[in-house]
């Protein structure tokens, strides 16, 4: 069951109002976070052709697909229907490699319900058997008490990652040496810190910088949210098994409102309004545990792919060459074992 979202759309004519020369066009990039969506859901449709068109604007050589409820099996045991997503993306990846595309999908993060303790092992084994690209799962915990905030389905509290049944299921993931992607809101980060402390040998990835909220009750509270977000992020960074994805801040619930402007933001606009979040995360975790992400097509509702990665390149210019290579390539390659 996908997230219930306000309808989001990509307006290509609007995005074309801002066009930029590509910064540092030769820099190698792994985009460790993108989706595919079919027409008709709450999210904008995004096909493999759309991905190819976007990644060609920069030197993106590998990608990692992140779960988004697509391609599920429509029959068979209910708990195994999620394995269809791995099968669906594996087929796309094989097709890309057959036609010789420069970019290749090199990793798949699928999903499983870890609270279903009795089925976790079976589901994870089925994912693994379905694709050599399978690297782990994401089970989202994003939840807020406000009706103005988008909530994860089948969740009615903010503490999924400390739920006793979830922890039991997570132990199976830990035993299988799989990666865990986490998505939650800024005020939930402490639950992820507790999980990471409990499982110090599991590679965990915090998605979307921990999503500092800026809509609903958080409108006008940006400074207060930032203070709480930064404090919790620093605490989480003390767990050496946790890595962070730098991106996702153009989603509507971050509250920057880019999608409602007459013109989309330029890379300089992104740097001006958001760079403090990126630098705070890099300072806390270090470049070797940080990776830039597109989160397309969700963030494409607010800006284009070439503008987003230009912003990343401008933000990272102050770091050394090896640090920049980690941010754009090395961290993702290590974390998702893409070599």
Question: What is the predicted pLDDT for the residue at 339?
Answer: 79
More confident residue, 6 or 215: 215
Say what the pLDDT of residue 40 is.
Answer: 79
Q: Determine the structural domain holding residue 140 and report its residue range.
A: 12-335
Please give the tally of structural domains in the chain: 1
The per-residue pLDDT for range 137-176, each reduced to its tens digit, is: 999 999 999 988 989 989 999 999 999 999 999 999 999 9
pLDDT surpasses 60 at 2: no
Can you give the pLDDT at residue 178? 98
Residue 249 lies in a domain: yes
| 85-89: average pLDDT | 98
pLDDT beyond 80 at 100: no
pTM for the structure as a whole: 0.97
Q: What is the mean pLDDT of residues 204-210?
A: 98
Stretch among 44-53, 94-103, 196-205 having the lowest mean pLDDT: 94-103
Asked if residue 315 has pLDDT above 80, the reply is yes
Q: Using the predicted structure, report yes or no on whether residue 1 has a pLDDT greater than 90.
A: no
For the cut 90, the answer to whether the pLDDT of residue 234 exceeds it is: yes
* Residue 98 in this model has a pLDDT that exceeds 90: no
Would you say residue 90 lies in a domain? Answer: yes
Query: Is 1 domain-assigned?
Result: no
Q: What is the pLDDT of residues 29-80, one digit of tens each?
A: 999 999 999 987 778 899 999 999 999 999 999 999 999 999 999 999 999 9
What the block records as the tokens of 203 is 């590679």
Query: Does pLDDT of 334 surpass 70?
Result: yes
Of 339 and 328, which is predicted with more confidence? Answer: 328
How many Å apart are CA 262 and CA 260, to the nearest integer?
A: 7
Task: Say which residues have a Cβ less than 8 Å from residue 245's Cβ, sequence separation at least 6.
Answer: 32, 33, 205, 206, 207, 208, 209, 290, 291, 292, 293, 295
> If you average pLDDT over residues 320-328, what whole number do you get?
98
> Does residue 53 belong to any structural domain of this protein?
yes
pLDDT > 70 in the chain, percent: 98
pLDDT at position 5:
56
- Distance, in Å, from the CA atom of 219 to the CA atom of 237, rounded to the nearest integer, reads 27
**What is the structure's pLDDT at 102?**
75
Q: What is the mean pLDDT of residues 125-140?
A: 98
For the domain that residue 52 is a member of, what is the CATH number?
3.20.20.140
Enter the tokens of residue 326: 């980690």
Residue 4: pLDDT band by 50, 70, 90 thresholds?
A: low
Residue at 3 is within a domain:
no
Residue 49 placed within a domain: yes
- Alpha carbons 291 and 63: distance in angstroms, whole number: 12
pLDDT bin (cut points 50, 70, 90) of residue 101 is: confident
What DSSP character marks residue 327? I
Give a yes or no: residue 7 inside a domain. Answer: no
pLDDT at 41: 74
Is the bond preceding residue 336 a cis peptide, omega within 30 degrees? no
Distance between the two ends of the chain, CA-based, in angstroms? 33
Is 39 exposed, middle or buried, given 0-12, 13-18 or 19+ CB atoms closer than 10 A? exposed
Q: For the chain, give the mean pLDDT.
A: 95
Q: How confident is the model at residue 328 (pLDDT cuts 50, 70, 90)?
A: very high
Could you say which DSSP state residue 37 is in? B
The model's confidence at residue 220, banded by pLDDT at 50, 70 and 90, is very high
How high is the pLDDT of residue 7? 59
260 domain residue, yes or no:
yes
């Amino acid at each position: 069951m996908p997230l219930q979202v306000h309808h989001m759309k990509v307006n290509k004519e609007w995005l074309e109002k801002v066009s930029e020369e590509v910064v540092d066009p030769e820099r190698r990039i792994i985009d460790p976070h993108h989706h595919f969506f079919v027409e008709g859901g709450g999210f904008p449709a995004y096909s493999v052709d759309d991905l190819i068109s976007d990644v060609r604007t920069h030197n993106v050589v590998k990608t990692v697909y992140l779960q988004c409820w697509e391609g599920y099996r429509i029959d068979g045991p209910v708990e195994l229907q999620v394995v269809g997503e791995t099968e669906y993306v594996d087929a796309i990846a094989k097709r890309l490699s057959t036609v010789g595309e420069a970019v290749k999908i090199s990793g798949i993060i699928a999903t499983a319900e870890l609270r279903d303790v009795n089925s976790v092992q079976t589901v994870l084994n089925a994912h693994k058997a379905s694709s050599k690209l399978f690297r782990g799962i994401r089970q989202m915990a994003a939840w807020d008490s406000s009706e103005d905030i988008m909530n994860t389905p089948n969740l009615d509290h903010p503490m999924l990652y400390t739920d006793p049944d979830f922890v039991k299921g997570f132990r199976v993931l830990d035993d299988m040496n799989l990666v865990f992607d986490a998505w939650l809101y800024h005020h939930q980060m402490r639950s992820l810190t507790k999980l990471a402390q409990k499982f110090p040998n599991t590679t965990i990835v915090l998605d979307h910088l921990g999503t500092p909220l800026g809509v609903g009750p958080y409108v006008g509270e940006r400074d207060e949210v930032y203070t709480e977000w930064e404090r919790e992020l620093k605490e989480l960074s003390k767990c050496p098994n946790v890595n962070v994805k730098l991106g996702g801040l153009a989603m509507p619930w971050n509250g920057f409102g880019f999608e409602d402007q007459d013109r989309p933001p330029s890379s300089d606009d992104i740097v001006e309004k958001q760079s403090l979040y990126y630098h705070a995360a890099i300072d806390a975790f270090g470049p070797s545990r940080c990776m830039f992400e597109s989160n397309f097509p969700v963030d494409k509702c607010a800006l284009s792919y070439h503008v987003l990665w230009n912003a990343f390149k401008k933000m990272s210019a102050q770091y050394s060459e090896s640090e920049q290579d980690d941010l754009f390539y090395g961290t993702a390659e290590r974390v998702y074992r893409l070599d």
